[in-house]
Amino acid sequence: MKKTLLAAAIPALTFANGVGAVELFNDGKNSLSMGGHLTVELNDNNGDTQLNANSPRINFSFNRDLGNGFALDSRVEWGLSNFVSGGNTFSTRLGYIGVSHDQAGRVSAGKQWSVYYDVTSVTDMPIAYGSDSLFTYANGTDGGDLGLGRANNSIQYRNGVDFGKGGDLNFGLQWQGTNDKYDDRVSASVTYDIAGVRLGYAYSGGDVDYGVDGGIQDASVNAFSVSYGTYSDGLNLAVAYANSENLQNSQNAGGNTIIAEEATGIEALAAYGLENGVNIYVLYQGIEDDTNDLTVQEYTNFGAEYKMTESVVVYGAYKVDHGNDLHDTDNSFAVGMRIFL
């Protein structure tokens, strides 16, 4: 067996639809690069049509060869939340420093993509109407405090084993310290890749004081995924399932907060990327509050993306809303253009 650090396997370090970062400086030991993307999107949500930005961002990465097989990597990334509307724009999306070794693996600290996302990212590929049914971005946040999306104040360890023709096994461990109403949280993931197929499992858990009936509760989640192929390059199929406890928060028609003792989420993606740069897809998403027997959300997205150049993508999508038991919702559409920096 040959150990290897598969840093490129961390999904957050790549873009599904565009190119990588632009290198600004490289002296053979130190390098500096810039990346990100800008997007303008016209979308309709329950009859209200607006021009929005759809998660534009800019990032800078600094890497250094430390010698003896060690390397340093770092990134700071800001969201440009008011890109098309003006006002205060910058908000921190990522900020971390990592040190890796060819054999010993990688340790990183800061605000970074979680190990949980290693597993749930397989369906978070389309530009329009991305993933929100696997608790990655729990309760309308970026998942930072729960360590599920872009984990706040987190320390991670990653490593992997290359079995040659037997595939690649990668794992990640994550810890977050106490933060206000959140107690220490731990997360772990493992993925196995062979012949274009990836299997994944992730866990995250820790006590949370929601300040409502029930007091301090263990908010935890288990996620499973299986995928085949690469998004926008031929056939890509992916299914992910998550089961959570005391994690899903919803508000009923009366404005009261409902915390589900158990909730399940599922996403299924089927996409096909043609040689002419067109990628078509269907994405199903749904969350069920099993404790209260409520459908929190359920819809199917139909979309197409066209890569005009290596750094410019135009897209369109239509979301068919299947209804829920909490709020009145309707079908919607989105069309836009994304430029990768």
| 224/243 Cα distance (integer angstroms) | 9
Residue 128: burial class (beta carbons within 10 Å; 0-12, 13-18, 19+): buried
Q: List the domain boundaries for the chain.
A: 2-340
pLDDT value at residue 60: 96
| 318/277 Cα distance (integer angstroms) | 20
pLDDT value at residue 254: 62
| 140/180 Cα distance (integer angstroms) | 19
Amino acid at 211: G
| 114/178 Cα distance (integer angstroms) | 17
In this structure, the number of other CB atoms found within 10 A of the CB of residue 216 comes to 13
| Helices of type H across the chain | 117-120
CB–CB of 123/134 below 8 Å? yes
| 119/222 Cα distance (integer angstroms) | 10
The dotted CATH code for 2-340 is 2.40.160.10
pLDDT value at residue 161: 95
2-5 own/partner pairs: CB under 8 Å, 24+ apart = 2/161, 2/162, 2/164, 3/102, 3/103, 3/159, 3/160, 3/161, 3/162, 4/102, 4/160, 4/161, 4/162, 4/168, 5/100, 5/101, 5/102, 5/105, 5/106, 5/158, 5/159, 5/160
> What six digits make up the tokens of 6?
């598969």
Burial 31-57 (b: 16+ CB within 10 A, else e): bebebbbbbbbebbeeeeeeebbbbbb
Low-confidence ranges of the chain (pLDDT < 50): 1-9, 11-15
Residue 19: burial class (beta carbons within 10 Å; 0-12, 13-18, 19+): middle
54 Cβ contact list (under 8 Å, min separation 6): 39, 40, 41, 43, 127, 128, 334, 336, 338
By C-alpha distance, which of 168, 148, 171, 167 is closest to 158?
171
pLDDT tens column, 293-340: 999 999 999 999 999 999 999 999 999 999 998 888 899 999 999 999
pLDDT value at residue 258: 76
SS3 245: strand
pLDDT tens column, 27-60: 999 999 999 999 999 998 777 899 988 989 999 9
SS3 168: strand
> What six digits make up the tokens of 202?
């992730």
pLDDT value at residue 328: 84
| 95/75 Cα distance (integer angstroms) | 6
pLDDT value at residue 27: 95
CA angle, residues 80, 316, 17, in degrees to nearest 5: 60
pLDDT value at residue 13: 47
* Integer angstrom CA distances of residue 205 from 109, 145, 151, 188, 217: 19, 11, 13, 10, 10
Instruction: Please compute Rg for the chain using Cα positions.
Output: 20
